[in-house]
Amino acid sequence: MNSAYGLYIHVPFCRHKCIYCDFYSTTHLADIPRYLNAVMQEWESFCLNPPSGGFAISSLYWGGGTPSLLTPRQVQRVLDRIHQHGTVPADAEITLEANPGALDDAHLAAYRRAGINRLSLGVQSFIDHELEFLTRIHNTADVRRSFSAARRAGFDNISLDLIFALPRQTVAEWKHSLLQAIDLAPEHISMYGLTIEKGTPLHDGLTRGARVSCDEEVQREMYLLGKEMLEAAGYTQYEISNFARPGREARHNQHYWAGGPYLGLGPAAHSFAEGRRWWNVRDVQTYCRALENGEKAAGGEEILSRDQLRAEAILLGLRRRRGIDLAAWERTFAETPRALFSAALESLGGCEQQAPPFQDAPSGRLLTCAAGHLALTAHGILLYDYVCRKLYECL
Ligand code: SF4
């Protein structure tokens, strides 16, 4: 039987490197044509040696980097090649990440015609001085212009990314960005706390004392405000950082969180199937050279142990509203999760039997077991790392 794979294409090009970013990308845009040929080569090699039992693509995601730096013709060429060698259902979700500062309005209708049916706009903030602080190349006028242009081009499934917990950001500023995002009425909104990654200019600034990070208590307040406002506006929180109108949850990400297999094409892209994770080299030139020589662009691989797989099932399961499917756990790992986790559940103060996930439980408990799934309550979300650690201790 065919396995359903999520397909991820990493587009490692940006016009400029943002101070907080640790994704692999380069500003050497002249390499794009060579890179695209290598991506198609990598796809064909995968199709020539398919996984035993075959495969079909359930969703496709162009991430980056800045995929909207590609012209519609370039996107079309790769999609044609994907369709030529693989099976992609007509209704598959095909997302393109777009930067409002690198989104040619004239390109949008052509992307739509090429088969892109979902746009993920990296908005981050609706305040210009915050965008400047993040060294983004766009401003708030670009966001509004590109959002309207995307609607006119026929995109009826648009996601906006927002970042909170910027240094010196106030709760009022965060509320302003949320209100503006809600006002545009996208189908999906993601909100992420700013993470300070080692090796980024932002991290260096913090360690030199030139900047201050956002206070933890304020971060928590911002998160809760975002959750409350988005839910009040009719978005359902289906993952810790993700909110969607009914039926507009990101299918690609859900597949990934459910532990489904995925194939990543492009430099630094990761893949996972049947307990094995492998990834490509983190360098465009080395990646292209390998593919041009008919070799793999492998950067490394690992076979996940049973304990690692169980830890990932906890980590990914608890991020989702539906939580950890206890029956699926039993089938996959041949053990009863309630018995396995009993010590952790006890030390965490027990588990609600019926409280809805991601909502306040009157008892203040962190976990709920409604409908055969172990999930976080609203209190539990705020202690996600702690709850995961407690469950790991039982493995
Ligand atoms: S545009 Fe996105 S991927 Fe590129 S540097 Fe900025 S944050 Fe990173």
Alpha-carbon gap, residue 273 to 147, rounded angstroms: 36
User: How confident is the model over 313-341, as pLDDT tens digits?
Assistant: 999 999 999 999 999 999 999 999 999 99
**pLDDT above 70 for 1:** no
Test site for ligand 1: of 17, 121, 124, most ligand atoms within 8 A of the Cβ: 17
Q: What is the DSSP-derived secondary structure letter of residue 26? A: B
Closest residue by Cα to atom 6, ligand 1, is 18
> Does pTM surpass 0.85?
yes
What distance in angstroms lies between residue 71's CA and the mean position of ligand 1's atoms? 18
| The amino acid at 390 | K
Pairwise CA distance, residues 294 & 292, whole Å: 5
Nearest-angstrom CA–CA distance, 130 and 55: 44
Percentage of the chain lying above the pLDDT 90 cut:
88
Residue 21 Cα to ligand 1 midpoint, Å, equals 6
SS3 55: strand
13 alpha carbon – ligand 1 mean position (Å): 9
Taking CA atoms only, the protein residue closest to ligand 1 atom 8 is: 21
Confidence of residue 102 (pLDDT cuts 50, 70, 90): confident
**Span from the CA of 371 to the centroid of ligand 1 (angstroms):** 40
- pLDDT bin (cut points 50, 70, 90) of residue 210 is low
pLDDT at 389 over 90: yes
Over the stretch 370-380, which tens digit does the pLDDT of each residue have? 889 999 999 99
Weakest-pLDDT range from 59-68, 75-84, 273-282, 348-357? 348-357
> Which of 19, 25, 97 has most ligand 1 atoms within 8 Å of CB, for mutation?
25
Measured in Å, residue 132 CA sits from the centre of ligand 1 at 13
The CATH number fitting domain 3-257, selected from 3.20.20.70, 3.20.20.80, 3.30.1130.10, 1.10.10.10 = 3.20.20.70
pLDDT at res. 205: 82
- Token pair 């700013």 is found at 194
Identify the sign of the CA torsion 129, 221, 188, 317: positive
Distance 66 CA to ligand 1 centre (A): 7
Region class of 323: left (phi > 0), else alpha (psi between -120 and 50), else beta: left
| Closest Cα to atom 7 of ligand 1 | 21
User: 122 CA to middle of ligand 1, Å?
Assistant: 9
| pLDDT tens sequence across 344-357 | 999 999 999 888 99
Q: Residue 104: what pLDDT?
A: 85
The whole-number pLDDT of residue 252 equals: 97
Tell me the pLDDT band of 302, cut-offs 50, 70 and 90: very high
How many helices, marked H, and strands, marked E, lie in the chain? 16, 16
Beta strands in 104-213 (DSSP E): 118-124, 158-164, 188-193
pLDDT at 286 exceeding the cut of 90? yes
| Residue 208: predicted pLDDT | 78
Average pLDDT, the chain: 95
**Mean pLDDT value of segment 96-120:** 94
- Distance, CA of 307 to CA of 99 (rounded, Å): 38
Q: Report d(CA 298, CA 316) in Å as an integer.
A: 25
- Pocket residues for ligand 1 (CB within 6 Å)? 14, 17-18, 21, 23, 25, 64-66, 99, 122
Residue 19 Cα to ligand 1 middle (Å): 9
Ligand 1 nearest atom to the CA of residue 16, by list position = 5
How much is the pLDDT for 211?
65
Q: CA 37 to CA 20: how far, in whole Å?
A: 30
Atom of ligand 1 nearest to the CA of 21: 8
From the CA of 102, give the closest atom in ligand 1: 1
Residue 76's pLDDT is 97
Mean pLDDT computed over 41-50: 94
**Rounded Cα distance, 293 and 298, in Å:** 13
Sheet arrangement for strand 324-325:
324-325, 373-376, 367-368, 351-352
State which amino acid sits at residue 235: Y
The CA distances from residue 356 to 104, 321, 381, 390, in Å, are 43, 9, 13, 21
Which pLDDT value is given to residue 163?
A: 98
- Render pLDDT for 134-181 as a digit per residue (tens, 0 to 9): 999 999 999 999 999 999 999 999 999 999 999 989 999 999 999 999
Tell me: pLDDT of 265 over 70: yes
